[in-house]
């Protein structure tokens, strides 16, 4: 086949393939043009998800009548003039191909009137046919109407999703652009419904809440820092509102919504240990940087960028978000809204129902409302400066009302054989251990319920992280190597885990086709009673199942997670007064004590106000 020059329509359709993937792509390009045109009001209208109609109207500077033909021509723009301008792009659009690419796959009309003009002009484009500009009525600004998207490329039109899905993508695009430009008013009308209506000159925080939802106000932390020439403002979500998708993780650079792997990694690292690895934080970041320090001309849709100093950007985001989270109280509140009305479903103190009913109330739990009110009244009498329960008062009340539930240090409870009682109610100054699993205490605002395993896991992880930051963990040699039988899949990962083994104080090698010999083991794990064989087997099994993280520090973090989990006290372990006191002291010392290394909460908070509401006192 001989070489030949492609027809202009084919060239534009190829360009459209890069720029116009779906109706949301059209909306994005047209809104970005409106923003660059200094618009203060942008109205978007779509029908049938945008496949039949997209209309974007703005009140910007408009297009002169004699420039309408240029506006829809390929590679025509007012935003750059030479190659040097590409080194510091401050506008959202600059390629000069948006209108031409859209027109190549639709029936498009442009009506525009400059602010100082007496009338508007209109031009129509359908495929490769462009009309002559002609006078038309219209307000100051520009209105672009796109009909029958992909009418002349039916294969691409066939690949569009349902109207509802395409409309949702359009809505998401408008929200992104509205977040990045809170001074502009935005509306979106889909069919006959107004789905977005945002006022102009909105404060950044109010715009974020308007888009994400006002109910998140108390769950978002405000961030405002400038470091290394990088300005960062944002709303950082608490771990409790992490989502299953990254939809609410949004980053804007100089007003442009972007997707950058380095920034995503920095955010993930900042939340490491606070949320489950499979979940994504709710966070909106606005980054301001010298345009000369970033290249936005690396992707047709301008969604990806390249920083001149990628490490500086990564470090700035990581430290800013991490410090914001460190300064906040991340203890999640216990939500009892699903319990129902107090008299229909009174709050029951954790424990077997028969023990509660027969010992404290003398009736089944459903009839224990008055007793529960007394329990809340006891909390109201406490000195608000106290850190925990006044156990002596609890002990006296139990001695009078339910002696069978009281456990002395030297005696076991004397309870009827048909009554199941609380396994442990042990005094530790002003703290209770419940079911050998949870520690209950109080602060100035209400109850704290602590998962002893999760909290100890966090404490141990921080100790391990601190120790390994100073060098490899201490190792203890075995008198006789311990042999571990593994399968062929697991043994494949032995060499890959070798560097990690060195760092955590383990020496292991293959000694047979399906066996490993352990010559030395972590002193830390030995001291915590963790057996070498099962630990190595579990570690290899996890590697075979999930692989080894390509990031060495992330891989180390995961192994330290596992070590802390194996070594921590377990649910069901009875703790002495000294052990509980030490654990609570460590809680005050370690970072991120509100969550275990896997992201699960270590502590739940139940406010006095919530207790009063559940018991009908308010």
Q: What is the pLDDT of residue 404?
A: 43
Chain mean position to CA 16? 33
How far is it, in rounded angstroms, from Cα 446 to Cα 433? 17
Domains of the chain, CATH where assigned: 8-198 (3.30.565.10), 204-326 (3.30.230.10), 330-618 (no CATH)
In 3D space, the residue among 149, 612, 531 whose CA is nearest the CA of residue 342 turns out to be 612
Q: Is pLDDT at 108 greater than 50 in this prediction?
A: yes
Q: Tell me the three state secondary structure of residue 12.
A: helix
E-only strand ranges, 214-349: 220-227, 230-237, 249-253, 256-258, 283-288, 294-295, 306-307
Beta bridge partners of 443: 446
Q: Alpha-carbon distance 461 to 558, whole Å? A: 10
Q: What is the pLDDT of residues 445-470, one digit of tens each?
A: 788 889 999 999 999 999 999 999 89
Q: Measure the CA–CA gap between 142 and 42, rounded to whole angstroms.
A: 10
d(CA 587, CA 243): 27
**pLDDT-based confidence at residue 502 (cuts at 50, 70, 90):** very high
Query: First-to-last CA distance in the chain?
Result: 84
Choice between 526 and 429, residue whose per-residue pLDDT is larger:
526
**Mean pLDDT in residue range 201-230:** 91
Strand order in the sheet with 256-258: 220-227, 230-237, 283-288, 249-253, 256-258
Spatial distance between the Cα atoms of 96 and 19, rounded to a whole number of angstroms: 11
* Dihedral pair phi/psi, residue 8, rounded to 5°: -55, -40
| Contacts of 192 by beta carbon, 8 Å cutoff, 6+ apart | none
3-state secondary structure of 617: coil
Q: How does pLDDT run across 59-95, given as a tens digit for each residue?
A: 999 999 999 998 888 766 655 444 454 444 555 554 5
Give the best-scoring range by mean pLDDT among 14-28, 40-54, 451-465, 520-534. Answer: 40-54
SS3 553: helix
Please work out, in degrees rounded to the nearest 5, the angle formed at the alpha carbon of residue 329 by the alpha carbons of 324 and 331: 130
User: Residue 299 half-sphere exposure, CB side, CA atoms within 13 Å?
Assistant: 12
**Whole-number Å distance between alpha carbons of 310 and 263:** 9
> 459 near 590, Cβ under 8 Å?
yes
> What is residue 35's predicted lDDT score, i.e. its pLDDT?
92
The percentage of residues in the chain with a pLDDT greater than 70, rounded to a whole number, is 77
Of residues 155 and 164, more confidently modeled: 164
Identify the residue with better confidence: 303 or 157: 157
526-578 pLDDT, tens digit each: 899 999 998 998 898 888 877 888 778 888 888 998 999 999 999 888 988 88
The SS3 assignment for 476 reads strand
Q: Which of 175, 180, 173 has the alpha carbon at shortest distance from 198?
A: 175
Q: What is the pLDDT of residue 351?
A: 34
* 30 touches 108 (CB < 8 A): no
7 has pLDDT over 70: no
Q: pTM for the whole thing?
A: 0.65
Q: What is the pLDDT, as a whole number, of residue 76? A: 63
Structure tokens at 500: 């990690």
Read off the tokens for 45. Answer: 């209208």
Which is more confidently placed, 396 or 243? 243
């Amino acid at each position: 086949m001989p070489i030949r020059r492609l027809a202009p329509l084919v060239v534009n359709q190829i360009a459209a393939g890069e720029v116009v993937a779906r109706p949301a792509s059209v909306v994005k390009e047209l809104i970005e043009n409106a923003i660059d045109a200094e618009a203060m009001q942008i109205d978007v209208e779509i029908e049938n998800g945008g496949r039949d109609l997209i209309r974007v109207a703005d009140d910007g500077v408009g297009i002169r009548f004699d420039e309408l033909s240029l506006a829809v021509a390929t590679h025509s723009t007012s935003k750059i003039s030479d190659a040097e301008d590409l080194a510091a792009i401050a506008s959202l659009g600059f390629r000069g191909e948006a209108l031409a690419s859209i027109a190549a796959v639709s029936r498009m009309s442009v009506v525009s009137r400059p602010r100082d003009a007496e009338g508007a002009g209109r031009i129509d484009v359908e495929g490769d046919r462009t009309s002559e500009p002609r006078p038309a009525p219209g307000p100051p600004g520009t209105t672009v109407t796109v009909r029958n998207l992909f009418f002349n490329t039916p294969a691409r039109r066939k690949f569009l999703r349902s109207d509802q899905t395409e409309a949702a993508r359009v809505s998401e695009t408008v929200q992104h652009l509205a977040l990045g430009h809170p001074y502009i008013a935005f509306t979106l009308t889909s069919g006959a419904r107004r789905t977005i209506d945002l006022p102009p000159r909105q404060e950044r925080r109010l715009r974020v809440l308007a888009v994400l939802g006002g109910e998140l106000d108390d769950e978002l932390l405000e961030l405002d820092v400038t470091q290394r020439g990088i300005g960062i403002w944002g709303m950082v979500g608490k771990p409790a509102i992490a989502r299953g998708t990254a939809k609410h993780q949004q980053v804007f650079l100089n007003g442009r919504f972007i997707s950058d792997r380095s920034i995503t990694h920095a955010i993930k690292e900042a939340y490491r240990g606070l949320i489950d690895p499979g979940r994504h934080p709710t966070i909106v970041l606005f980054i301001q940087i010298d345009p000369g320090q970033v290249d936005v001309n690396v992707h047709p849709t301008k969604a990806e960028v390249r920083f001149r100093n990628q490490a500086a950007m990564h470090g700035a985001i990581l430290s800013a978000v991490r410090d914001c989270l460190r300064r906040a109280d991340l203890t999640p509140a216990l939500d009892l809204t699903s319990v129902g009305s107090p008299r229909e479903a009174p709050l029951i103190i954790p424990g077997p129902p028969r023990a509660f009913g027969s010992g404290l109330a003398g009736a089944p739990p459903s009839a224990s409302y008055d007793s529960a009110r007394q329990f809340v009244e006891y909390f109201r009498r406490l000195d608000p400066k106290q850190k925990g329960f006044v156990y002596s008062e609890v002990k006296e009340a139990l001695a009078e009302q339910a002696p069978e539930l009281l456990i002395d240090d030297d005696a076991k409870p004397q309870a009827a054989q048909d009554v199941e009682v609380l396994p442990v109610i042990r005094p530790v100054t002003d703290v209770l251990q419940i079911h050998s699993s949870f520690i209950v205490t109080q602060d100035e605002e209400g109850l704290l319920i602590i998962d002893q395993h999760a909290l100890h896991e966090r404490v141990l992880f921080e100790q391990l992280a601190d120790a390994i930051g100073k060098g490899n963990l201490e190792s203890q040699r075995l008198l006789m190597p311990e042999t571990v039988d593994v399968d062929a899949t697991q043994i494949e990962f032995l060499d890959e885990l070798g560097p990690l083994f060195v760092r955590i104080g383990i020496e292991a090698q293959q000694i047979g086709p399906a066996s490993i010999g352990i010559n030395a083991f972590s002193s830390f794990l030995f001291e915590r009673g963790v057996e070498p064989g099962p630990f190595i087997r579990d570690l290899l099994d996890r590697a075979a199942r999930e692989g080894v993280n390509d990031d060495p520090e992330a891989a180390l973090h995961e192994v330290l997670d596992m070590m802390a989990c194996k070594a921590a006290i377990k649910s069901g372990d009875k703790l002495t007064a000294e052990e509980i006191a030490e654990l609570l002291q460590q809680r005050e010392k370690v970072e991120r004590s509100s969550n275990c290394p896997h992201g699960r909460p270590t502590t739940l908070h139940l406010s006095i106000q919530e207790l009063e509401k559940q018991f009908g006192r308010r």
